[in-house]
Structure 1
Amino acid sequence: MTSAFRPTPASIPPPNAGLALRQPKGLPPNFQPLNPLQFILRAADIYPNKVALVHSDVKYPVSYTFAVWCQRIQNLAYALIQAGIKPGDRVAIIAPNSYSCKVSDAHHGVLAAKAVPCPINTRLKPAEVAYILEHSRSSIILVDHEFVHLLPQNLKVPVIVSNDTGRPGDPYENFLSSGRAFSQERGWAGLEYDADENSAATLCYTSGTTGRPKGVVTTLRGSYLAAIANAYESRIHLESTYLWILPMFHAAGWTFPWANVFGFATQICLRTVDNSLIWKHFLQSGVTHYCGAPTVQIGIVNHPSAKKLPRPISAIIAGAAPTASLIASLEQLGITPIHVYGLTLYGPFTRNFPQAAWANLSLQERSKIMARQGHPFATAQDARVVYPPKDGTDTLVDVPRDGKTVGEIVTRGNIVMKEYFRDPEATAKAFRGGSFNSGDLAVMHPDGAVAIVDRSKDIIISGGENASSLAIEQELASHPCVLEVAVVARNSFKWGERPHAFVTLRPTSIAKWKGRHGDFEKELKAHAKERLPGFACPEWVSIVSELPKTSTGKILKFDLRKIVAKL
């Protein structure tokens, strides 16, 4: 526990507290509805005194054992019920990856009240937050003090502010204490287990880079199974320490708020993605796991504190396809990449599974294979690559397993969303052909591994040939001076479209090419010609200080296309 910190009196569980919800009537003895809430009850029962949460890099450090955290979750459930929250109501959460409102309470406590957590991106603008609050019809808002300015004026729902202190007097702590008092010590037995495992578990909104964000509804059953799969595939267990870098507003943190609890792992919270703090915890806190998009990984491996680690750390990578050079850079530091692929549903549903034969390959050859999205993992059903359906039919036909024929990734099964909230038209379109249509273009290799070649809107058609912007980026990123690269189509009178590459340089290479961007463009083009067919080589190269990105770290190619449209 953090020295000198004492949990609030309301956070201390009573002696011999029961750790079981009241069972709904009528359930047969051989059926229990799946619900990720049961993970925290199990952890508090088996390892009550193990440290579950640590939040140390703030003015008011805190840490909680599983027993104390479980009591706080119970308090939140009762506080929400006292505030009038009913089953199925949405509870909006606007907070960083701090202990309050997010990791420690909301992903569990809101479910205990049979309500639906709706985590909102803290990097959005007030107008975007207002739209999500209105569209989600949230009945109450839990907000960190740093983000109160994002709230619209004249709100008609209750707002609970957290000052992120964990101390008495904090409005959020007072809210939890009121819940404890309201419970009259009925404990977990006073809260009822949800009888329907297909009830909504979360409502998470997409980035909305080209239009209004859509609300993705997941289920209790899907969240339970996805969490177990993530814990298993990532090898999270009792001795694991997970560092929160991935924002939990993004697809509910890929279900890792529950996966870590299922594995009894200790979780370390960070309010912001600070690479200095990340490396401090890598080197001093026994971190074993973290998640992050490729753009976050690039910042980590290129930080001045980066060095060979004394013990291996597993990095779960998703959000975009990592380049082979990034995978190689992580391994050289002792970070083991676990490359997974998923969507704003439950997060990952495929994994690139390592093979014994890779040991005989060079690092560069192995890294290119590891950049594939791989096979469906535990509790997921299938990941197919299919031709676009023919007019008048929704029949899906698989492409051949030749590693060349391009189709769209579709999937179905446990780790697929329930629906788009209040949008039946978009839901029907996404489920065309009886599967979820991802919009990601890919090939299927002979071994059954899926490999993304691009988003459908990012394919460059040059002289009648289809060029994958992702494949071009993979090769350009192998240049030793390139930090990040994004490629988009630019109009060409002769070829129709040609690739335009936007590049950021490694910090160690900026001085080398200062005032010589033309020379760098020639060198990068020569580098590309050795690795790519002529139609895929960039016609133009722009060195930029940074690439435009969404709040979750994805490169905004929509913005880059607007730039080239004016050239």
Structure 2
Amino acid sequence: MDSPLLHTAQSYTPSQESLPPQNVQYRLRLPSGLPAHFTPLNPLTFVLRAALIHPNKLALAHPDVQHPRFYTFAVWCQRIQNLAYALIKYGIQPGDRVAIISPNCPLIADAHWGVLAARAVVTPINFRLTKPEVDYIIEHSGSKLVLVDHEFASLAEGITVPVVISQDTGLPDDPYEKFLAEGRHFSQERGWAGLDMDPNEDANATLCYTSGTTGRPKGVMTSLRGSYLAAIANAFEAKLSFDSVYLWVLPMFHAAGWTYPWSAVFAFSTQVTIRAVRFPDIWKHFIKSGVTHYCGAPTVQIGIVNAPEGRVLERPINAVIAGSSPTSHLIGELEKKNIHVTHVYGLTDTYGPFTRCYSRPEWREWSLEKRAEAMARQGHSFATADELRVVYSDGGDLLRDVPADGKTLGEIVVRGNILMKEYFKSPEETRAALRGGFFHTGDLAVHYPDGTVLISDRSKDLIISGGENASSLAIEQELAKFPDVLEVSVIARAHPKWGERPMAFVILQPHAEARWKGKEAEFEKELKRFAQKGLPGFARPEWVKVVKDLPKTSTGKIQKNVLRKTVAKL
């Protein structure tokens, strides 16, 4: 990587406490009696290996702040070690939960390693939640300590749990830096050999809470082993390498950053953190910082591809898309800017992504539109995951695979290495989700003859019109092809004759707003006329409403439950 970012990094001087001693050894203390042929899987080993092999390579860059920081693998590894000892000094025991409330910055990046090094459980909390929601998660998780960024310190006010605040400066008087310095002093230079390797690879690793759009958020508990295997899979599927520069657009609190905090280090890649999703900053790094990879939900990708700063890039960038199904139109628009799409699918319950739409050699001869439609499928399971199944269920434990005809709807179920252990403190919900020995996603899909899977809808979002099943996602895919549509969401609305009919909520492209201002009825007619080309009668929208924005969760998913409440009042 040769960029202004690297040149700036070379002039940065880390704190004395962040410098590793001479002759440092990157080796944890092994459990007694461990067989020579077995080492428990743990993602922590990735950073030890990176510091050993590439100690002077830029590992973590945090440039767009008043006090920029740049850490090599050797320096960052020492800081992680300092954090582990600080947590132990504070009384954190194996299995304790440590909460983190932070945007993408060194604090949360450190925590994904340092908490594991203390054999505790990484518990990232969504800083976009309300104070009562955050209070609930801290209480429910039983967190023993909270690491919080200064911008969101108010979310940790009034709690009984001890709090360490980071000013995000890296300066000696920063409370977080003092905390790390205390850890270094407490270690008495015992180094990594003074920290124990967890003997149980099935020990708890992360506790990530779901968005909670329909009630209290659930705590998804994962294991060290699963985190290790999911991280390797993501590094492989995204093609991360020593030469990669990964830009943190996806929040690290979201399903532990889809395991990319560990994936990027496994691949010896450089990571760049930005505190907020600001499209001018994103494009600046695309153009000037050598960025090769980033992840983001479709709603974020829409903002990126339509940003005024956007242009056709000289170098290709790999965009990993998940969170909800991208439209083929969005995939095509990204490709036009030399942003190549890796479409993955997953849930918080599966460590983030666990499937990928693998491109085929014959696709090279296809048109962009046809290729984008194929890329919109959810594809096949990762190498470290079991085969994806689409099944019928009689409500019990018996699961029958749907025919691979690309038409018959069933539910996606999954099991295997990169599936959660449980919903924390929720045994009944865990049993219900894992009935029949598989995790039931609630996503309805079809299976194609080539083994690929395409999600048709969430079970609760399916529109039943005159006895026909209409997929809201399929309708959205088609309407998104209309040139003046920026974003669209479709839900069911009661109909006196057909039972239900689709209603579309549409955000217009910025360039089309003036054209249709005060002419919403005409726009509705035009969109309905367009829909006649690609949708059967029962799937065409009966109503169209132009809106300025759509209700979304803090991770960018459209809240159809909110739209349903709006429609119920019509």
Short-chain TM bin: over 0.9
Structure 1, unpaired ranges of 5+: none
Residue 30 (structure 2) pairs with residue 23 (structure 1): yes
Distance (Å, rounded) in 2 between the aligned partners of 1:439 and 1:28: 41
Task: Find the residue that maps to 1:337 and give its secondary structure.
Answer: strand
State the 1:271 CA deviation: 0.1
Are 1:7 and 1:167, in contact at CA under 8 Å, matched by a contact in 2? Answer: no
Q: TM-score, normalised by structure 1?
A: 0.98
1:395 is matched with which residue: 395, 398, 416?
Answer: 398
Are 2:232 and 2:266, in contact at CA under 8 Å, matched by a contact in 1? Answer: yes
1:329 is matched with which residue: 333, 337, 344?
Answer: 333
Structure-2 residue corresponding to 1:69 = 76
Alignment of 1:59-458 (within 5 A): 59-100=66-107, 102-103=108-109, 105-153=110-158, 155-345=159-349, 346-387=351-392, 389-391=393-395, 393-458=396-461
Task: Find the residue that maps to 1:382 and give its secondary structure.
Answer: coil
Residue 483 (structure 2) pairs with residue 480 (structure 1): yes
Alignment-mate amino acid for residue 38 of structure 1: T
Are 1:141 and 1:160, in contact at CA under 8 Å, matched by a contact in 2? Answer: yes
Residue 55 (structure 2) pairs with residue 52 (structure 1): no
Task: Find the residue that maps to 1:306 and give its secondary structure.
Answer: coil
RMSD: 0.8
Residue 467 (structure 2) pairs with residue 497 (structure 1): no
Distance (Å, rounded) in 2 between the aligned partners of 1:521 and 1:151: 47
Structure 2, unpaired ranges of 5+: 1-7
State the 1:3 CA deviation: 6.2
Alignment-mate amino acid for residue 138 of structure 2: L
Task: Find the residue that maps to 1:172 and give its secondary structure.
Answer: helix
Are 2:156 and 2:163, in contact at CA under 8 Å, matched by a contact in 1? Answer: no
Distance (Å, rounded) in 2 between the aligned partners of 1:95 and 1:125: 14
State the 1:152 CA deviation: 4.2
Are 2:83 and 2:183, in contact at CA under 8 Å, matched by a contact in 1? Answer: yes
Distance (Å, rounded) in 2 between the aligned partners of 1:302 and 1:263: 31
Are 2:357 and 2:377, in contact at CA under 8 Å, matched by a contact in 1? Answer: yes
Are 1:79 and 1:180, in contact at CA under 8 Å, matched by a contact in 2? Answer: yes
1:464 is matched with which residue: 456, 462, 467?
Answer: 467
Q: Runs of 4+ in structure 1 displaced over 6 angstroms?
A: none
Deviation by residue 1:337-380 (Cα, 9 ceiling, x = unmatched): 00000111311110000001112322112111110000011211
Distance (Å, rounded) in 2 between the aligned partners of 1:453 and 1:150: 38
| Matched length | 562
Q: TM-score, normalised by structure 2?
A: 0.98
Deviation by residue 1:105-164 (Cα, 9 ceiling, x = unmatched): 1000000000001000010000000000000000000000000111241x2221000000
Alignment-mate amino acid for residue 402 of structure 1: D
Distance (Å, rounded) in 1 between the aligned partners of 2:147 and 2:546: 42
Alignment-mate amino acid for residue 118 of structure 1: T
State the 1:26 CA deviation: 1.1
Distance (Å, rounded) in 2 between the aligned partners of 1:215 and 1:35: 21
Are 2:221 and 2:420, in contact at CA under 8 Å, matched by a contact in 1? Answer: yes
State the 1:179 CA deviation: 0.2
Task: Find the residue that maps to 1:512 and give its secondary structure.
Answer: helix
Deviation by residue 1:217-250 (Cα, 9 ceiling, x = unmatched): 0100000000000001111000000000000111
Distance (Å, rounded) in 2 between the aligned partners of 1:99 and 1:109: 12
Distance (Å, rounded) in 1 between the aligned partners of 2:399 and 2:202: 26
Percent sequence identity is: 64
Task: Find the residue that maps to 2:132 and give its secondary structure.
Answer: helix
